[in-house]
Amino acid sequence: MMETRKSDNNFRGLFTIVGICCLAMVIQSCSSLVEGLGITVTRTETETFTVTERDSTHKHYDKDAVESGDNGVVSPSPRVIETKRYIRQKDSIVERFYPDFIRLGLFESVGLIGGNTEASLNSGPLGVHLPLPDLESFRGDPDNKSIFAGSMFRLGIAEYRLRWFQDADNWTIGTHGIEAILPTARIEEGVIGLLPIYLRKRFYLRDDIPYLSATLSAGFSYFPSQYINLSGSLDLGSMGGTNFRFYLGAVMGRNPDYAWNISGNEWAEGPTTVFTPYAGLGISLLDFVNTVPETYTEWKDHEHSAWNIGIAQFGLLSTSSEALSIGQSEIDTESNNSLVNGLFLSLLNADIAIPILDNGFFAGTSLFSIWSYSLSEVSIGILPVRVGYNMQLLADELFLQPYLEWSYYPSNSVNIGTRLNLDLFEYNSISLLAGYGTGNTADLIGTNIISAVEEELEFGVWYLGLSFNLSTQHFQPEELRYNR
């Protein structure tokens, strides 16, 4: 019986690893999905012309090298000049690739001020540091009030140039795949839109990277909520696809009969009307913004501010932990001494170059990062802070990156390590990892995510690992705008 249980646990661990791999593969396919939805990223312009080459050859020789001089008309000079002309033509085709969007992004979150603090979502100033509560407390905790009562989330962002007013600059029309504006933890007091339509006008206050602009926007959604969202924002970015925005606005609309009632797990009775003025501070990742002149600049000539950006990194870890390994059950009494006893996953990563010394230093973050050194020694980070140094060992393909990553929410932990990265294919690479992770597993995580953890657990673990980096681009030193 004991052997059967351990076999089942091993299968569960295998399924866990396979599941994470499948998740990363799905995330990697986002670029293909974007193209499949008709959202164009690149504009191709083809120049066709004919190349004509003309050449003339002049040859001088004497018919009789012995004779010389001018012998007159009767007996002319033996010197002869022979001329040959050549004309060759060929067709030439040159393709040039340009960005075909003003804004294209994956994720944006905003912490909103303006909702009822008695039912606060407690999502933090950037709207993404959500608590991990039980469903019964999801309606808000009056004893835990927060000025940031709500959040706004956007997944899949696309904007294209709108040529209004005699082709005036900086007008755009676009949409978001999913948009949720939640003034409080009570979801029926917010609105959710699928593919809302937005018009925007930008006024640039700074023309150099990082760009600073003031933006006016008006959005309309029909399904599932019907609402209008009017706002103004001050935008700073884009560096490595990372942007910061301050919003002032108001949302007004109506939720139909199928609005959710989370606490009772039932349909809400009757439609609800929403009107909420708000202010908020937000962040967006893998969110790229082009000015109009940049849409006429070839991709190969664009300036880059990050050492690497990517959608997903996942890997397997071999650690010094003596606790139960990933895939084992909490009812097991001893570790199975597996070579692979941990794993990690990070999503929406960006490491932005810092222009000091030789520009090799970087500061970065990820939307979500989890390091599971064992079944119970786990660190989860939302927007962790990461610093490090990028060193090129072999041109085009091999990099060494020592780094330090600090996760402050919901776990409090520090990860010090180094990464040896090898580029295999375009936008895909593998890395060898080595380092040390220390911190504690927060009680909030223990009671809601990991059943093997019943209280805060201090840990300090050495690890070796293999990382697979999907849809990740590592830029060369000559591509960095500070080195041009």
54 in Cβ contact with 84 (< 8 Å)? no
Position 36 scores a pLDDT of 43
For residue range 296-332, what is the model confidence (pLDDT) as tens digits?
999 989 989 999 999 999 999 999 888 777 766 555 5
pLDDT tens, position by position, 427-471 = 889 999 999 999 987 645 544 455 545 555 788 999 999 999 998
Instruction: Give the pLDDT band (50/70/90) at residue 169.
Output: confident
Asked if residue 338 has pLDDT above 70, the reply is: yes
Tell me the pLDDT tens digit for each residue of 182-229.
998 888 888 999 999 999 999 999 988 999 999 999 999 998 899 999
What residue ranges do the domains of the chain occupy? Answer: 2-31+303-483, 99-296
- CB-CB contact of 355 with 380 (8 Å): no
- The confidence score (pLDDT) of residue 480 equals 92
pLDDT of 26: 44
Distance CA 142, CA 358 (A): 51
pLDDT at 337: 66
CB neighbour list of residue 332: distance below 8 Å, 6 or more residues apart: 5, 6, 9, 324
**Where is pLDDT greater, at 25 or 246?**
246
Of the given ranges (98-112, 178-192, 258-272), which has the lowest mean pLDDT? 258-272
Average pLDDT along the chain: 81
Look at residue 482 and tell me whether its pLDDT is greater than 70: yes
Query: Is 9 or 375 the better-scoring residue by pLDDT?
Result: 375
Q: Is the pLDDT of residue 133 over 60?
A: no
Q: Are strands 306-319 and 457-474 parallel, antiparallel or unpaired?
A: antiparallel
Residue 11 has pLDDT above 90, yes or no: no
pLDDT band at 75 (very low <50, low <70, confident <90, very high): low
Return the percentage of the chain with pLDDT > 70, whole number.
77
**What is the average per-residue pLDDT within 336-351?**
87
- pTM of the prediction? 0.81
For residues 14-35, average pLDDT:
46
Q: In this predicted model, which residue has the larger pLDDT, 35 or 275?
A: 275
Within the chain, what is the greatest distance between any pair of CA atoms?
A: 124
pLDDT, residue 22, reads 47
Partnered with residue 268 across adjacent β-strands are none
Region of 256 on the Ramachandran plot (φ > 0 left; ψ -120 to 50 alpha; else beta): beta
pLDDT digits (tens, 9 = 90+) for 231-245: 999 999 889 999 999
Mean of the pLDDT values across residues 270-287? 90
pLDDT tens-digit readout, 388-418? 999 998 887 899 999 999 999 888 899 999 9
Rounded mean pLDDT, 61-79: 58
C-alpha 301/C-alpha 304 separation (Å) is: 9
User: What would the mean pLDDT of 93-108 be, rounded to a whole number?
Assistant: 92
Query: What is the mean pLDDT of the segment spanning 361-380?
Result: 91
Tens-place pLDDT, residues 285-295:
999 999 999 99
365 against 190, higher pLDDT: 365
Provide CB contacts within 8 A for 56, sequence distance 6+. Answer: 83, 84, 85, 86
Phi/psi-derived region of residue 265, left when phi > 0, alpha when psi is between -120 and 50, beta in every other case: left
| Percent of residues in the chain assigned helix, strand, coil, to nearest 5 | 15, 55, 35
